Amino acid sequence: MQASFLELIEAQWTRGKHVCVGLDVDVARLPAHLDGSPAERCVAFARDIVDATAEVAAAYKPNAAFFEALGADGPAALRDVIRHIHRATEDAPVIVDAKRADIANSNNGSVHYVFDYLAADAVTLHPYLGHEAVRPFLERADKGIFVLCRTSNPGAGELQDLNVAGSPLFLHVATLVKSDWNYNLNCGLVVGATYPAELATIRTRIPDLPLLIPGVGAQGGDLEATVRAAFAAGELRALVNASRAVLYASGGRDFASAARAAADDLHTSITRVVANLG
């Protein structure tokens, strides 16, 4: 029987692995020496990144939008990358960053696409349409569901910081996911590294849900502050995502080895901060 997302990621955390490599594969930034069609070049690039980082990465997070930008070849290219991750790694789960959640048949199509066609282990969802929209995903108990809570973009506070009955909206989302949506124990939260104070508040209020933390690296999130906030409650149940800082550490023929070095540095830094907590 295939392992569930929770089983896969718990095994990675037991190994002390917390790096999530974000596969934001931008065809405009691929090394010039890669041959083939845009889709073939993206797949070749992603495969080399995965092979180089497989020993250190706890998970991979391909961003669906970069593959959708390839047009008709995009879905098959993304599926090929996910298949390669499953073959090439020591049970590293794949989180498709799709930010889905709709209603009725639209949702059923998304569930089938992400979990059956792509064979992803987890997905990111937005909460704005409520339980009706996320329920078909939640019912896939073997899959991981990461709900957007406090995102890493500069404009996140426009809605997420709104005062709702005395608390910011993002805290209501975190509490709702924990208390009402996590009935299959497959939910987590997306919380940006660019907001360490909010991250610390969420982790204190919700100490046990898995966290997916984007924003380290190119977006400027402070790694030490992020790790201290995420792990201070004593739970080491978090993935620290880096995308551009790993993928594009070099634009030359050494891109894969440079990516490995960047991922190694991130892993080493996380491990050091965790060791010094308390």
Kindly list the catalytic residues. 99
What order do you get walking across the sheet with 122-125 strand by strand?
57-62, 19-23, 238-242, 211-213, 187-191, 144-150, 122-125, 95-100
How crowded is the C-beta side of 259, counted as CA atoms within 13 Å?
30
User: In this structure, are residues 235 and 208 in contact, taking their beta carbons and an 8 Å threshold?
Assistant: yes
HEC string of the chain equals CCCCHHHHHHHHHHCCCCEEEEECCCHHHCCCCCCCCHHHHHHHHHHHHHHHHCCCEEEEEEEHHHHHCCHHHHHHHHHHHHHHHHHHCCCCCEEEEEEECCCHHHHHHHHHHHHHHCCCCEEEECCCCCHHHHHHHHCCCCCEEEEEEECCCCCCHHHHCCEECCEEHHHHHHHHHHHHHCCCCCEEEEECCCCHHHHHHHHHHCCCCCEEECCECCCCECHHHHHHHHHCCCCCCEEEEECHHHHCCCCCCCHHHHHHHHHHHHHHHHHHHHHCCC
The span from the CA of 82 to the CA of 62, in Å, is 8
